[in-house]
Amino acid sequence: MVEIGLERALGDQRALLAGRRLGLIVNPTSVDRLFVHAADRLLAAGLDVRALFGPEHGVRGDVQYMAGVGDAVDRRTGLPVYSLYGDDEASLTPRPEMLAGLDALVFDIQDVGSRYYTYVWTLVLAMRAAARAGLEVIVLDRPNPLGGAAVEGAGIASGYQSFVGLHGVATRHGLTVGELAGLCNAEMGLGCQLSVLRMAGWRRAMYFDDTGLPWVIPSPNMPALTTAMVYPGMCLCEGTQLSEGRGTTLPFELFGAPWLAPDALADRLGELALPGVRFRACSFRPTWNKHSGVLCGGVQLHVHDRAAFQPVRAGMAVLWAARTLAPAEFRWHADAYEFVHDRAAIDLLAGGPALRTAMDAGAPLAELWGPLGEYEAGFRKSRAPYLLYEEAA
């Protein structure tokens, strides 16, 4: 049984929070195994919680992706809620007046193990602001739901940092939030007084369903662990005009477009014999987002061997297959993405322009995958000093 940082903060590590004026960076995943929210538990324990800070989707998770969230008063606790995801890039960082009167910021949010997911970058920006204000940041650590062993994907080229990657880490980084915070604090020179309240009982080989903890949807389009498994690759669809399955019951496990032939697409992907995954031809009609109300031909990903599955390579294969089957219709996403107007969304997601330019030039799939291995090997070495959990002997 895994004991998360929140539970330890109310048990043998309570002294870390006691007697301090606290701000909590939380969302709906900030619960114990009985679904009691961190804010409620800390207040019930007599701790001095002064404010809540909400990342993308808000403290209560009731706002869709890339939609601005305003400041408010929390309906349950009556505490002020400060938004860390508003209508412009400046809103992502806590302002000095938000931090006034606090001694520490406490971060307790479940990540999904993919570099694109914005919650970890909310933490990094909060660490930078806390360092300037002289506040400590305390991370109540939680599991990486994809485990801590596998590493896959590229880093970030200079000039392509954004809110889907403020620092160069592998797309599937295999780090807990606490480990990632330590890496970024050192490599980005944040100068933050950082404490990580480690979990007890977590091992790097564990997937989320090995932990005994309940899955609470971290965001509106991350309904299940199976979604998180494919997300490191399938989020690349956000950089295209392909539907990534938003507006269906299987976001990121479904993808397609009105101009794709599902059987040909499933056959093209099946011919690749990618490890751990099978592709089923299907059709779907999104209820909102891309191609809303329009019938799309596409494919559902079925991961049958998650240890063998390579989601980033599979996601790149999905883009390649769609492009090769419908080159005249395939388009990159052209609008602003995560407050960035001057670089393509796919470049921000892929960590640079290499994937887009190679695909535009008609490169074979093996060439798209080519640079990944060297980066992954290097990242494994560079992340090693920041690992807080080792395999059990």
Residue 251's nearest CA partner among 289, 216, 200, 209 is 289
Span 200-223, pLDDT tens digits: 999 999 999 999 999 999 999 999
Q: What are phi and psi of 223, to 5 degrees?
A: -75, -20
The CA-atom distances, in angstroms, between 244 and each of 227, 260, 311 are 11, 13, 14
Span 122-173, pLDDT tens digits: 999 999 999 999 999 999 999 999 999 999 999 999 999 999 999 999 999 9
The pLDDT of 281-306, averaged and rounded, is 97
CATH level 2 (architecture), domain 225-369: Alpha-Beta Complex (3.90)
CB neighbour burial string for 160-194, b if at least 16 within 10 angstroms, e if fewer = bbbbbbbbbbbbbbbbbbbbbbbbbbeebebebeb
- pTM value? 0.95
- What three-state secondary structure class fits 116? coil
Contact 347, 290 (CB under 8 A): no
How far is residue 172's CA from residue 106's CA, in Å, rounded to a whole number? 25
The pLDDT of 295-311, averaged and rounded, is 98
Span 71-121, pLDDT tens digits: 578 888 889 999 999 889 999 999 999 999 999 999 999 999 999 999 999
Q: CA end-to-end span of the chain, whole Å?
A: 17
- What three-state secondary structure class fits 186? helix
pLDDT at 385: 97
Is the dihedral angle over the CA atoms 236, 239, 242, 247 positive or is it negative?
A: positive
311: which 2 tokens?
């989601």
pLDDT at 56: 85
Q: If pLDDT is split at 50, 70 and 90, which confidence band does 70 have?
A: low
Residue ranges of the domains in the chain?
5-218+382-386, 225-369
Span 12-69, pLDDT tens digits: 899 999 999 999 999 999 999 999 999 999 999 999 999 999 998 778 655 444 444 5
Spatial strand order in the sheet of 296-303 = 254-257, 296-303, 277-284
Span 346-374, pLDDT tens digits: 999 999 999 999 999 999 999 999 999 99
Contact 92, 53 (CB under 8 A): no
Span 311-324, pLDDT tens digits: 999 999 999 999 99
pLDDT at 393 over 80: no
Q: What are phi and psi of 22, to 5 degrees?
A: -110, 140
How far is residue 365's CA from residue 353's CA, in Å, rounded to a whole number? 16
Q: What are phi and psi of 322, to 5 degrees?
A: -65, -40
**Domain 5-218+382-386: CATH superfamily, name plus number:** Uncharacterised protein PF07075, DUF1343 (3.40.50.12170)
pLDDT at 244: 98
Residue 382 CA, chain-centre distance (Å), reads: 20
Could you give the dihedral angle defined by the CA atoms of residues 252, 257, 262 and 265, in that order, rounded to the nearest 10 degrees? -80
Residue 32's nearest CA partner among 58, 51, 10, 60 is 10
How far is residue 336's CA from residue 392's CA, in Å, rounded to a whole number? 45
- Per DSSP bridges, beta strands 72-73 and 80-83 are antiparallel
Q: Which residues contact 48 (CB under 8 A, 6 or more apart)?
A: 19, 20, 21, 22
Identical topology for domains 5-218+382-386 and 225-369: no
Contact 59, 52 (CB under 8 A): yes
pLDDT at 372: 97
pLDDT at 61: 53
Q: What are phi and psi of 110, to 5 degrees?
A: -80, 120
